[in-house]
Structure 1
């Protein structure tokens, strides 16, 4: 769900926008080939300066998630298919972390450390 950025989170607004749009693509809420709202609509949704929206869209474009069609708008270029089983595993992990009163930021630190040190 696209929503206003949290201006007090410490995370740059354009990064929050990139992450929200990526999340919507990953969760299948925005499909490959779909047109994103206009830049002005995104500005209103996120409640940010238009340059912040443009910076986020340029980052998504550089990463290959979206493409721009001159005079038409931005479209989802890359679809990320995540197996439903993976989502269920993540949900179970989150429930377990919450049951042990592990906050989001601590969980992310733990996740990052395990990710870096775990061999496939």
Structure 2
């Protein structure tokens, strides 16, 4: 994993775990690797991993089971809200950039539809 120097590493780790859950690399009920193993895998400090995991536990995305480790929640409501939150964050970035270009909402929708159609065409050649 490559980190962006302008964004706190713990936050990037949270985003990474969100993505792993959304794309089903981590399924509901799955156990996460141990904190030390995650720190080694991602080449970051154990405290950084612990901060990211603590926030994920506070959000309900992960559940800590004493002596067993950290697990992805099986609460479908939380997982659906997580997915919606991540999608909304990505859309917010796109919207903000297009708004800086002074596109109207209608122009944004048209541009996105055209882009999706082009990508579909490009992927089927």
TM-score by length of 2: 0.61
1:36 is paired with a residue of what secondary structure? coil
Distance in 1 of aligned mates of 2:59 and 2:6: 23
Match of 2:57 in 1: 61
Distance in 1 of aligned mates of 2:99 and 2:5: 19
Q: 1:18 to 1:108 in 2, by over 3 A?
A: farther
Structure in which a larger fraction of residues adopt helix: 2
2:28 is paired with a residue of what secondary structure? coil
Distance in 2 of aligned mates of 1:63 and 1:72: 19
Match of 2:72 in 1: 76
CA contact (8 A) 1:5 1:13 kept: no
1:46-101 CA-partner distances (Å, limit 9, x unpaired): 1111000000000100111001111110000045356xxxx9xx9xx9xxxxxxxx
Q: Greater Rg, structure 1 or structure 2? A: 2
Work out whether 1:15 is the aligned partner of 2:2.
no
**Equivalenced residues, count:** 91
CA contact (8 A) 1:66 1:76 kept: yes
Q: Can you give the 5+ residue segments of structure 2 that lack an aligned partner in the other structure?
A: 106-125
Q: 1:35 to 1:9 in 2, by over 3 A?
A: same
Q: Can you give the 5+ residue segments of structure 1 that lack an aligned partner in the other structure?
A: 94-105
